[in-house]
């Protein structure tokens, strides 16, 4: 769906993704953008930064269905970016993660259908594929909810899809600002020197969501083709002379990330620069996704078996551009 002349609401809109998405959306002649989040201080600070008259600020929590019903009035597109996403915090506060990431997703779905929102696209994570931590498990449940929601929209025009990608370079809470902070000590703590991660810039993530909005017909999980990096290379890029301290894997942490499992690959279609995991529901027609190709039977998309890798020099360039 084209964003021009549309009213767009973004949950978790005061975060790193939300701010950059709004910058791009404002360039497309949108009618209105509603920033929906629960932190009044962040909204106040954001209002000083963004003075465009098309922006509205709406305090609310995705756990509050009634508030979502009010916020979604007259909205054409919802971008769902709100989540509890810190792996350690979710491990130690599990039901808080369930209430925001799962119950919140269901509230978004119910409010969108009843308010006749045209398109909803939800942000997911590589941790939702073959999850081993609670954050990943809640996001997998959320993904399933959004895909299945297309089954009971009835005669409404509401459609739901999901975007799944890896770690965002320099986003709040990511390893880059942490390594930068620790670089001055001359020592960088690394959980395991074998660790690899998918890597995407904030600009790339935002553009992929915008592209997916225009491609979606409802039920797809869109996965971009993005490079991997070794955690040791990232350490060298940030502090080449620092001592590496191996501290052991933290609770809920993987050695390598997955974005498409072998089982998902059986109903995944490949395009030049992205994949589409298609839903296994009777209402889905392969005719909805043309010009793609099926994947090999044993295919899986993991950060350690990727075809594209970022070098130390490329990582340095990315970090400098932040």
Which of 50-64, 242-256, 288-302 is most confident? 50-64
Helix (H, G, I), strand (E, B) or coil at 217: coil
What is the mean predicted confidence (pLDDT) over 170-198?
Answer: 85
pLDDT, position 287: 67
What's the pLDDT score for residue 180? 85
| The predicted structure's pLDDT at residue 72 | 98
- pLDDT of amino acid 140: 98
Distance CA 276, CA 220 (A): 6
Mean model confidence pLDDT for the chain = 93
Orientation angle between helical segments 231-238 and 312-320, nearest 10 degrees: 60
Q: For 237-261, how does the pLDDT look when each residue is reduced to its tens digit (9 = 90+)?
A: 999 888 898 989 888 889 999 999 9
Task: Please compute, for residue 219, the number of CA atoms within 13 A of its CA located in the half-sphere on the CB side.
Answer: 19
Distance of CA 176 to CAs 26, 33, 188, 204, 208, Å? Answer: 28, 30, 11, 17, 22
pLDDT at residue number 322: 64
Q: Which domains does the chain have, with CATH numbers?
A: 7-166+201-225+258-300 (3.40.50.720)
For residue 167, list its beta bridge partners: 199
CA dihedral 234, 239, 241, 246 (to 10 degrees): -60
For 62-86, how does the pLDDT look when each residue is reduced to its tens digit (9 = 90+)?
999 999 999 999 999 999 999 999 8
Task: Using alpha carbons, select from 232, 152, 221 the residue that is nearest to residue 191.
Answer: 232
Q: Check pLDDT > 80 for residue 122.
A: yes
Q: Which of 6, 19, 127, 230 is catalytic?
A: 127
CB-based burial, 190-228: b 16+ in 10 Å, e otherwise: bebeebbbbbbbbeebbebbbebbebbebbbbbbbbbbb
Residue 139 annotated among the catalytic residues of the structure: no
Task: Tell me the CA distances in angstroms from 177 to 11, 28, 157, 239, one per residue in order.
Answer: 24, 31, 42, 12
Q: pTM for the full model?
A: 0.94
- Total Cβ atoms within 10 A of residue 283: 11
- The confidence score (pLDDT) of residue 22 equals 96
pLDDT of residue 229: 94
Mean pLDDT of 96-101: 98
- Burial per residue of 285-322, b for 16 or more beta-carbon CB atoms within 10 angstroms, e otherwise: eeebbeebeebeeebbbbbeebeeebebeebbebbeee
Task: Identify the band that residue 286 occupies on the pLDDT scale cut at 50, 70 and 90.
Answer: low
The partner residues of 168 in beta bridges, in order of sequence, read 200
Report which of 273, 164, 295 is spatially closest to residue 225, judged by C-alpha positions: 273
Among 34-43, 148-157, 161-170, where is mean pLDDT lowest? 161-170
The encoded tokens of residue 149 equal 């929601």
Residues 217-235: pLDDT tens digits?
Answer: 999 999 999 999 999 999 9
Pairwise CA distance, residues 89 & 164, whole Å: 21
Q: Which of 166, 202, 190, 182 is nearest to 247 (CA)?
A: 190
Given a contact cutoff of 8 angstroms between Cβ atoms, the answer to whether 278 and 220 are in contact is yes
- Does the structure show a pLDDT above 90 at 98? yes
Task: Identify each DSSP E strand in the chain by its residue range.
Answer: 7-11, 32-37, 55-59, 77-80, 119-123, 159-163, 167-168, 187-190, 196-200, 221-224, 228-230, 243-246, 258-260, 268-270, 274-277, 293-294, 301-302
């Amino acid at each position: 769906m084209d964003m021009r002349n549309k009213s767009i609401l973004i949950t978790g809109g005061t975060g790193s993704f939300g701010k950059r998405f709004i910058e791009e959306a404002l360039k497309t002649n949108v009618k209105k953008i509603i920033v929906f989040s629960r932190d009044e201080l962040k909204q106040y600070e954001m209002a000083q930064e963004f003075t465009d008259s098309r922006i509205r600020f709406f305090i609310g929590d995705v756990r509050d269905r009634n508030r979502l019903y009010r916020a979604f009035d007259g909205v054409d597109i919802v971008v769902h970016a709100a989540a509890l996403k810190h792996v350690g915090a979710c491990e130690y506060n599990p039901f808080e993660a369930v209430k925001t990431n799962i119950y919140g997703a269901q509230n978004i779905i119910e409010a969108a259908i009843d308010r006749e929102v045209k398109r909803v696209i939800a942000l997911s994570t590589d941790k939702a594929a073959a999850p081993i931590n609670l954050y990943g498990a809640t996001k997998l449940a959320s993904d399933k909810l959004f895909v299945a929601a297309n089954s009971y929209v009835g005669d409404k025009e509401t459609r739901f899809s999901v975007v799944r990608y890896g770690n965002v370079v320099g986003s709040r809470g990511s390893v880059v600002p942490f390594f930068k902070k620790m670089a001055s000590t001359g020592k960088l703590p690394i959980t395991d020197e074998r660790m690899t991660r998918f890597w995407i810039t904030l600009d790339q993530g935002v553009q992929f969501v915008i592209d997916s909005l225009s491609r979606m017909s409802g039920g797809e999980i869109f996965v971009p083709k993005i490079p991997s990096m070794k955690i040791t290379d990232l350490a060298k890029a940030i502090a080449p002379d620092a001592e590496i301290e191996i501290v052991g894997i933290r609770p809920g942490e993987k050695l390598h990330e997955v974005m498409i499992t072998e089982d998902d690959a059986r109903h995944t279609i490949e395009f030049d620069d992205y994949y589409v995991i298609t839903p296994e529901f009777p209402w889905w027609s392969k005719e909805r996704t043309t010009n793609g190709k099926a994947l090999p039977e044993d295919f899986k998309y993991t950060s350690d078996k990727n075809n594209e890798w970022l070098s130390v020099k490329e990582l340095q360039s990315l970090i400098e551009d932040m």
